[in-house]
Chains A and B, each alone.
Chain A
Amino acid sequence: MTLDEMQDRLGCWLDGSGPSPEIVMSTRVRLARNFRDHRFVHRSDEHELRQILEEAVHGVRESRALDGETVIWTHEISEADRRFLMERHLVSSEIVSNSRPAAVIVGPDECVSVMVNEEDHLRIQTMQSGFQPSKTWEMADEIDSGLEKRLAYAFSEQWGYLTACPTNTGTGLRVSVLIHLPGLVLTGQIARALKGIAQVGLAVRGLYGEGSEAMGNFFQVSNQTTLGQSESEIIESLERVTRQVIEHEGRARRILLKDAKPQIEDKVWRAFGLLKYGRLMRPPEVMNLCSAIRLGLGLGMLSGLSYGLLNGLMVLSQPAHVERITGSPPEEPQSNAARAGLVRRLLQNCDAC
């Protein structure tokens, strides 16, 4: 699979299936692993990084863990293309800004991937649509178990899987859910909800992970600690807390429907009109309009379009995707015109009512 082939489709984790799709967009699990006999990435020289790459790719291929994989050497592609991969959540910002030898090995439907030479030698990632922490963890666990037979991991009985940064040591596990909370935002409860989440030891981040902004009322909730608890305990506690957040969000939406139905309905339909007919669109605007339509879909205010379509719009309208798909220059206003055109095309056959 080439990047050109990739741009015409979307990862299966965006298809809008899975439990609670109206609130949870996706679930992600990543496992940090390192090789016993190599220095950590930031201390390795070019030669060692290449060795790590070779061993990792060989291990993944031999294990058949990804079931037909594509290897993308991120140091051999342009920064715009690395950004394209980041918009698909396949690489992190660390890889985008770096041209040292690194790779991402991607499974056929983009739901499983392995990043090589990011902060750790390996970052195994699995993603699923909707709220599915246990299943997503099981997928990652299986890939990891396949790889450990071929690759000698750095592991200590006391401290578990050893990672470059001690904040990941232990299970090396980060499980996160991407949740959409317009109800809590509009009813003014979001600050309290986020504070509550932080108080039980979970982290809240923006759409693209660490340091990124919360856009379109999307938040990423993930575990903070990785040592001292088993993987299933970590997964269960995130599940428990997320379930409560889902409940609160549902309640807030019902309040909105009861107290402010005409205003919300107006907001939702205006958003649809702008997306369908607008001529210049900046990325945050698309995100915010999609957020409003998503809320309307959840409240049953419009039909004829799906969560899968909205999820797709949010990824495809990102800068590197627009540039790649439409061939427009990255500068405004051309990119904004190209984005609006792309969005209109994607909504062409959508007869919302």
Chain B
Amino acid sequence: MLCERCGKETATVYYTDIQEGKLTQLHLCKKCADELGISHQASPGEFAISNLLGGMLDEADETETEATAARCSVCGLMYGEFKEAGRLGCPACYGSFAASLKDLLRRIHGSSQHEGKVPSSEVGLVAERREVRRLRDDLQKAVDAEEFERAAEIRDQLRALQTRSGPSEEG
């Protein structure tokens, strides 16, 4: 995704703010984020709502656990409160506590990847990315089993799919 401000650089900062009940969500590149004074570290004493989620899921260390004092930038719920009540505050909490939730969801469900229904508005994109994921899994299995011919076939399928759909977000 490109930066919503300059439209040139890749967005690496996902910024959520809520003021007077109005929700703003921005995807920014590092440069624009710096210019707007939004840095990875919300400065102490600054309004908690401008807490920002630096780094997306891909960057998040899987083993990292949110401190109980971590706070959802949209609804203000603290991770500790969630741990006590067992309920999240708003849909954005899933993004706010992504690293910890990923582990938790895996413990609860044995998986942290949705494979079910997708709202019709998002169906096309999601289906393509699911196919890419499936091929990558197959590729890994073929490599592990030292079936290199098959691996090469899958690799070609993957390339064809990725060329068609443009550069993959997952790199």
Contact = CB atoms under 8 A, between A and B. Distances in A.
Contact of A171 (B94, B116, B121): B116
Interface in A26-63: 34, 36-40, 42-43
B54 interface: no
B115 A164 contact: no
B101 A166 contact: yes
Interface residues of A, number: 41
Contacts of B105: 159, 166, 169, 227
Contacts of B121: 148
A228 B120 contact: no
Contacts of A348: none
Interface in B18-47: 23
B63 interface: no
Contacts of A162: 88, 91, 94
Contact of B129 (A157, A160, A171, A228): A157
Given A149-B120, A157-B126, A157-B129, A227 B91 contact: no
A148 B119 contact: yes
Interface string A140-184: 010011001100011111111110111101110100000000000
Interface of chain B: mostly helix, strand, loop or mixed: loop
Interface string B73-109: 0010100000001111111001000000100110011
A34 B91 contact: yes
A230 interface: yes
Contacts of A144: 117
Nearest to B125: A157
Given A149-B120, A156-B114, A226 B109 contact: yes
Nearest to A170: B114
Given A36-B91, A42-B85, A159 B114 contact: yes
B110 to A, nearest CB: 6
Secondary structure class of chain A's binding surface, majority of residues: loop
Contact of B122 (A43, A155, A159, A165): A155
A231 interface: yes
B143 interface: no
B4 to A, nearest CB: 18
B152 interface: no
A156 B94 contact: yes
Given A43-B77, A158-B57, A229-B116, A38 B87 contact: no
Interface of B: 23, 57, 75, 77, 85-91, 94, 101, 104-105, 108-122, 125-126, 129
Given A159-B94, A160-B114, A169-B94, 9 more contacts: A39-B90, A144-B117, A157-B125, A164-B87, A166-B101, A166-B105, A228-B109, A228-B110, A228-B113
